[in-house]
Structure 1
Amino acid sequence: MAALAAVLATVLLTTAPAQAATCEPPTVERFGPASVTGAIVGASVHEGKAYVVTRGQKPPVLAELDLSTRKVVRSVTLPDAPATGEPEGAWATAVSGGKVYAGTYPVPDLYSFDLATGEVKHLRSFGRNGGFVWSLAAAPDGTLYAGTYPDGRVWEYRPDTGAVRNFGVLAAGERYVRAVAADADNVYAGLLDKGKLVAIDRASGAVRELAQGPGGIGVVAEHGDRVLAVSGTTLIDVRKDGTDLRRVPTGAGSLDAIVSTPDGTVYGTTRPDGAVHRYRTGDEALTRIADAPSPGDETRRLALTGEGALVGFSGSGGMWTLDLPSAKAEFVDLIEAGLPSGAERPQSMLLVPNRAVYIGGHFSMDVRDLRTGEHRRFRVPGEPKDLVRRGDKIYAAIYPSGQIIAIDMRTDEVTSLGFLGHGQQRPWDLEYDPRTDKLLVASAPLGARLDGALSVVDPDTGQMDVYEGVIPDQSLMSLSLDPAAGVVYLGGDVLGGGGTPPVRTSASVAAFDLKTRTVLWQVDPVQGNRTFQDIKVHDGLLYGVYKRNSGAWIALDLATRTVRHQGALSGYGELTVHRGRVFASVFFGGGNAYELGTEAKLLATGLGDEWYTNPQLHFEPGSWKAWALSGRELARIGLDPRCPQS
């Protein structure tokens, strides 16, 4: 981190043009890691120990916990492999033959950790940078099976020989094998895009469909002579030969983790509430047995201990045990248990001038108090994709639940306004309309759907008016409010949830009247550009940055609905208007900041590419200093537009 800071300082501090007498040097002040995390993805339990892998840290940490003492007893890091890209976590873990195996992202690689020697090895890759090993399972003979993205394959890995094979296309167009389980004869795979549960013969490679779910399948488990799978709000329970198919409603939520016990009882946790449920084949519904040990959290793995307790691992970075007879739970924060924490890629940022900077992380919020310099951190129920202020409260749009929460700036108390529903689990953009005193949310669906939604939310009552398909056949990535006109402008994405082929070829901009709740007009500014990353209205123009076209940007004349200016940036990111000027902060090319006018003027480079969602700038009122990131550090950067780089 120190080396990175030195490089950034050199790049940024040498960019001031000497000929501009009024220019201040583009100074960079750094304040340490912007978002600190102990979040985890993969988890496994073996012989009284638990093995978890961190999310977001580079390099990822694999830690061993003693379940009796609830303390981390040793940890290792997963080294960067020769392939392009760096691992940031491992969703997939399995134990086989005295080793813990971890499948990483965003490079789909396989690692082993020897429990006896502590040695870590990189074994092989299952694809290129940008891929995931989503799931791992060990068959009784020790053979490993991995489910991957974006090729939608199941891979076989033989630890004894290192031999690898895959079983080909499991369903046309499938990208995600989100969950796998294995027995002596078959591998069972859950397909996220196509919602299919399939069985693959380990010897012949023949593929059989066991069930079609109503939505994507994200959880699969063996259950004696049966297989369990979770598809949306349905639990699929079917014999391994495909007979006696049962579909059991899970209620308002979906199961995110299940464990099958030898006596035929199944335990599971529901998302988004985190409550614990029980099920047996033949039941027509789940039985709730305990409130959430970690409310609003995602459960990464469930297991039973030798003492008859249920142990769960929370995505935010926690471990809990539930005494089944009493339904009493105990929660342990993994950082407090000794898990090495580190800087993660932030999700969002908000400046409250002269008071604090809020940084949204993975199931956490970091706050730097500008009055005292102190730092604090508290939990939130997911990833805050965007933040906005209204009075003494901050509102956050949360993934993966589609929940809108309020945070009291005086107490850090978190309350829920409710969930967008309608399948809208990816809220991308959030603004506050002071004229109507409403929150405006742009969202995309999760899974194989195209239509996103504009939601109008009452911050006092939680009342939500959700307008699905407001741009037909497109999800919404961004919105920009013109409060004087009472119009919100919407930026579309023809790919929708990403799980089904698009039917449009060009992303649209639409104008939505907040009084009549109707679309006034819709236009496709540039043919062939499929996704708006961000839009911002200023002085009669709508500025837009496209995501998938090498940083293409436009300025659309709202009166004529024609493109007045356009050009290219180094990548995509977010727009902001400050002191009558439009700025863009974008990925790639080192991480750059621009001013947009008739052309794009480069103001700074070397900011890094360490945002999780989109690079942002948050200017202090009356100044050219903006809060942003320098690498993964919180930084305040001078961005005087009178001083562009030559």
Structure 2
Amino acid sequence: MRQPRTMLLAVIAALVAVLAATGLQSASAGDAAAPEGPRSLGTPLKDVLHLGGTVGTMADGKKVIWTATSGTPASLSAVDPTSGKPLLNVPLPGSSGAYGVEQAKDGTVYAGTYGDGKLFRLAPGATKAEDLGVPIAGETYVWGIVIAPDGTVYGGTSPGGKVFSWNPETKQFKDFGAMAAGETYVKSIAYANGKIYAGAYSSWKVTELDPATGAKRQLPAPPGMTEPKGKIVNDLRAHGNFLYAREGTFPGPLRVYDLTKGAWTDTVEGAAGLDVSPPGPDGRVWFYRQFEAGSAELIGYNPETQAQQRTGLKSYGRIVNTRGIGWAPVEGDGFPGDSIVGLTWRGLMFRYNPETGKSATVRSSVPGQPTQILALASAGKGKVYAGGFLQGGLATVSTADGKATYERFSQIESLLPTSNGLLIGAYPDARVYRHDPAKPWYSSEYSDEPPSGTENPAKLLDLHSHTQSRLQGLAVTAGKIVTGSTPSGDTLGGSLAVLDEKTGKQEKVLDQFVKDEGITSLTAGDGVVYGTTTVAGGISTTPPTQDKATVFAYDVATGKKLWEVNPSAKAKTISAITRDEAGRLWAIVDGDVLRLDPETGRTLHTLNTTEGDGGGAGQLALADDGSTLYAHVGGKHVIKVDTNSRKWQPLFDQPALRMVYNAGELLFAKDAELLAWKVA
């Protein structure tokens, strides 16, 4: 009679084992309720960001500005140069944006995209973009593109630093290979007189390619350039017998190369980019140039005489370059014939008529696209902060209903609410800002209108001169703000910076804090800062010199590094570290949750939370009780850890980039969407 009971117990045991293996927890009288979710809080970040653009025509011949808007997904729009209204808007499925947008003579518009590394085309009169595929297998970015008179499309890629072509007759791609030894990006591209010109990223190299023969040669360095390393060939454009090459990011020198003479003939300082207009009837080209900080002005430039004409038409903010510039008729008094027209990065459209000198700006109505959430922080009960990827921006989000307040800003790498305001880690240049939520938001850097307010957030730190890029670590302890960053460009090594918490004054910057490793996360307490690193460099193709990621401790009072350890022989990146209320130190390494000794960094306990190699990515979030720790490992597995007993259990799977705890819920950033799971 006992056999059925024995069989029942065996079945129950097997079921429990299956539930545990799949990450689901069985509920019992003594257990907390099972997690509930996911609950969508929508897409809190949405904005306009134009990258690639060109002035062209619709199928009926009407002049428009073609522009690519970044987002998830990106879109391609035709904008009326008078009203600023989009006359056509088509998605570019699977892509995040497009730096290269060009129109062929037959009216076909092409877009080279990033995120998927594809080439799209929009035929005249079509309302859907055609996906032509990935030009070169393994190349995930298509940067600039250019179209030859015969309709052949050429483009530059990364991470292989290659040039490809697309033949519209044969519908075939061709791989011309890498353009320059040691260069992994073709950042810019131009066409002139049957030749392709490809600009590199990590150093100043302009390669001339003969597509008929495949022959390549390097153009000479401009006069006075003794050190090409670190000088990006950011923009290239050829008009007539001149090649225009802009160095670095705004403001950078625009170098002019005479293709007939085979020599660099002029340099225009402070050029904004990203493009130079086609020449007008008098041979002049038009672009923006900086004359004073915080703005740039449209100028006309004659490459033969090197004369410049200022127009008084200004663009304001940190980023003032054009995203499509050319000639088109504009309706209205003072705009006879064709005028110079174009867009700036946030959708402000400009126009200038060289005949009358009249200028104006109009806000275009191209719709913004959802922005991937890159940074997430708990902002008190029922509220979180979300920071955006490339479009940037900061959203304050209600966890009850997803209602969000959006502020336009930089790409945000990290967020840390403190008693003195919200600290914001920004890209590029590893900048730190502090925002007072009790006062109105205003940022002249990220407004395209003339300055008109008090800066809030206020900038506390800028590590451009230290060759830093992403400010990924923020911590506060013992009256100090401590930051950690990763490098920019083709370089290695992060910086640890210390600022006074009250005044925000910079006290020290410690470069190469861990040799040739960037700092990925920080936590702090009792005057000690703990951090993690990556062996990766400023770009994905930078060869590392170190083979193991590091955990370290730094004493802010003495200014000394207390210890550094490599808890894994194979982890290249360690991205999460935190302290519980008892001062115990926890990190995610190889997908496992580790407890480390705060005094030495020695691994005290390993919780085998991921079978096999879980990789370096991870997130940690401490509940309000100070001893319940949630870990996000392997990009999707959510683990609950009791830091007192070291007992842990898998909860559920949720693919996401970021995770934070807020008032009994875990909030997740999945692409542009914010999701909530009830866990307590």
TM-score after normalising by structure 2: 0.79
Q: Unpaired runs of 5+ in structure 2?
A: 1-21, 58-62, 222-227, 329-334, 444-454
- State the shift of 1:62 in Å: 1.8
Distance (whole Å) between structure 1 residues aligned to residue 402 and residue 547 of structure 2: 49
| Corresponding residue for residue 449 of structure 2 | none
- State the shift of 1:428 in Å: 3.4
Please tell me the root mean square deviation across aligned C-alpha atoms, in Å.
3.4
Out of 602, 626, 631, which is 1:584 matched to? 631
- State the shift of 1:148 in Å: 1.0
| Corresponding residue for residue 245 of structure 2 | 229
| Corresponding residue for residue 349 of structure 2 | 320
Checking the alignment, whether the CA contact within 8 Å between 2:272 and 2:321 is kept in structure 1 is no
Amino acid at match of 2:97: G
Distance (whole Å) between structure 2 residues aligned to residue 402 and residue 272 of structure 1: 19
Out of 34, 43, 54, which is 1:44 matched to? 54
| Corresponding residue for residue 421 of structure 1 | 464
The 5-angstrom pairing of residues 419-458 of structure 1 reads 419-436=462-479, 438-458=480-500
| Corresponding residue for residue 389 of structure 1 | 417
Distance (whole Å) between structure 1 residues aligned to residue 567 and residue 103 of structure 2: 52
Out of 317, 322, 326, which is 1:304 matched to? 326
Distance (whole Å) between structure 2 residues aligned to residue 66 and residue 432 of structure 1: 48
Distance (whole Å) between structure 1 residues aligned to residue 100 and residue 85 of structure 2: 22
Distance (whole Å) between structure 1 residues aligned to residue 239 and residue 44 of structure 2: 44
Distance (whole Å) between structure 1 residues aligned to residue 488 and residue 312 of structure 2: 28
| Corresponding residue for residue 90 of structure 2 | 76
1:92 and 2:139 matched: no
| Corresponding residue for residue 296 of structure 2 | 275
Out of 317, 326, 343, which is 1:295 matched to? 317
1:625 and 2:665 matched: yes
Distance (whole Å) between structure 1 residues aligned to residue 519 and residue 304 of structure 2: 42
Out of 428, 433, 444, which is 1:400 matched to? 428
- State the shift of 1:236 in Å: 3.1
Distance 1:392 1:462, change over 3 A: closer
| Corresponding residue for residue 10 of structure 1 | none
- State the shift of 1:143 in Å: 1.1
Out of 466, 470, 476, which is 2:513 matched to? 470
Checking the alignment, whether the CA contact within 8 Å between 1:426 and 1:443 is kept in structure 2 is yes
Residue deviations 1:548-596, cap 9 Å, x none?
Answer: x6x35543323343223344545523223332233223464xx332235
Distance (whole Å) between structure 1 residues aligned to residue 510 and residue 344 of structure 2: 33
State the SS of the aligned residue for 1:172.
coil
1:349 and 2:376 matched: yes
Checking the alignment, whether the CA contact within 8 Å between 2:659 and 2:668 is kept in structure 1 is yes
Amino acid at match of 1:222: A
Distance (whole Å) between structure 1 residues aligned to residue 110 and residue 325 of structure 2: 17
Distance (whole Å) between structure 2 residues aligned to residue 126 and residue 273 of structure 1: 39
Amino acid at match of 1:296: R
Distance (whole Å) between structure 2 residues aligned to residue 31 and residue 631 of structure 1: 13
| Corresponding residue for residue 639 of structure 2 | 594
| Corresponding residue for residue 503 of structure 1 | 545
Amino acid at match of 1:143: T
Distance 1:373 1:76, change over 3 A: closer
- State the shift of 1:190 in Å: 0.9
Distance (whole Å) between structure 2 residues aligned to residue 593 and residue 285 of structure 1: 63
Residue deviations 1:323-377, cap 9 Å, x none?
Answer: 4776965252x5xx152x4433212123321463322122322223469974332
Distance (whole Å) between structure 1 residues aligned to residue 257 and residue 29 of structure 2: 73
State the SS of the aligned residue for 1:616.
strand
- State the shift of 1:632 in Å: 4.2
1:603 and 2:603 matched: no
Distance 1:112 1:399, change over 3 A: same
1:493 and 2:502 matched: no
| Corresponding residue for residue 114 of structure 2 | 105
> Moved runs in structure 1, 4+ residues, more than 6 A?
282-289, 324-327, 370-373
Distance (whole Å) between structure 1 residues aligned to residue 530 and residue 254 of structure 2: 40
Distance 1:559 1:350, change over 3 A: closer
Distance 1:474 1:258, change over 3 A: farther
Amino acid at match of 1:236: R
| Corresponding residue for residue 360 of structure 1 | 387
Distance (whole Å) between structure 2 residues aligned to residue 312 and residue 406 of structure 1: 34
Residue deviations 1:11-42, cap 9 Å, x none?
Answer: xx994522354322312333222322333333
Q: Once the two structures are aligned, what percentage of the paired residues are identical?
A: 23
Distance 1:129 1:196, change over 3 A: closer
Distance (whole Å) between structure 2 residues aligned to residue 524 and residue 254 of structure 1: 44
Checking the alignment, whether the CA contact within 8 Å between 1:431 and 1:481 is kept in structure 2 is no
Amino acid at match of 1:443: S
- State the shift of 1:298 in Å: 6.2
State the SS of the aligned residue for 1:111.
strand
Checking the alignment, whether the CA contact within 8 Å between 1:584 and 1:593 is kept in structure 2 is yes
The 5-angstrom pairing of residues 499-578 of structure 1 reads 500-538=542-580, 539=582, 541-546=584-589, 551=591, 554-566=594-606, 567=608, 569=610, 572-578=617-623
Checking the alignment, whether the CA contact within 8 Å between 2:23 and 2:650 is kept in structure 1 is no
Distance (whole Å) between structure 2 residues aligned to residue 545 and residue 398 of structure 1: 24
| Corresponding residue for residue 123 of structure 1 | 132
Q: Unpaired runs of 5+ in structure 1?
A: 1-12, 80-85, 641-646
Larger radius of gyration: 2
- State the shift of 1:71 in Å: 0.2
Residue deviations 1:42-61, cap 9 Å, x none?
Answer: 32221321222232213x32
State the SS of the aligned residue for 2:32.
coil
Distance 1:633 1:503, change over 3 A: closer
Distance 1:37 1:74, change over 3 A: same
Amino acid at match of 1:220: L
Distance (whole Å) between structure 2 residues aligned to residue 14 and residue 526 of structure 1: 26
TM-score after normalising by structure 1: 0.83
Distance (whole Å) between structure 2 residues aligned to residue 140 and residue 350 of structure 1: 51
Distance 1:540 1:353, change over 3 A: closer
| Corresponding residue for residue 447 of structure 2 | none
| Corresponding residue for residue 238 of structure 1 | 257
Checking the alignment, whether the CA contact within 8 Å between 1:249 and 1:286 is kept in structure 2 is no
Residue deviations 1:204-248, cap 9 Å, x none?
Answer: 111111145342222111143232222324433333378433674
The 5-angstrom pairing of residues 260-271 of structure 1 reads 261-262=279-280, 263-268=283-288
Residue deviations 1:272-297, cap 9 Å, x none?
Answer: 95623646659999998668635223
State the SS of the aligned residue for 1:137.
strand
Out of 122, 138, 152, which is 1:143 matched to? 152
Distance (whole Å) between structure 2 residues aligned to residue 353 and residue 17 of structure 1: 31
Out of 361, 375, 383, which is 1:330 matched to? 361
Distance 1:603 1:505, change over 3 A: same
- State the shift of 1:156 in Å: 0.9
| Corresponding residue for residue 674 of structure 2 | 634
State the SS of the aligned residue for 1:422.
helix
Checking the alignment, whether the CA contact within 8 Å between 1:134 and 1:147 is kept in structure 2 is yes
Amino acid at match of 2:237: A
Distance (whole Å) between structure 2 residues aligned to residue 456 and residue 302 of structure 1: 41
Distance (whole Å) between structure 2 residues aligned to residue 615 and residue 518 of structure 1: 31
Distance (whole Å) between structure 2 residues aligned to residue 204 and residue 412 of structure 1: 57
Amino acid at match of 1:439: I
| Corresponding residue for residue 409 of structure 1 | 437
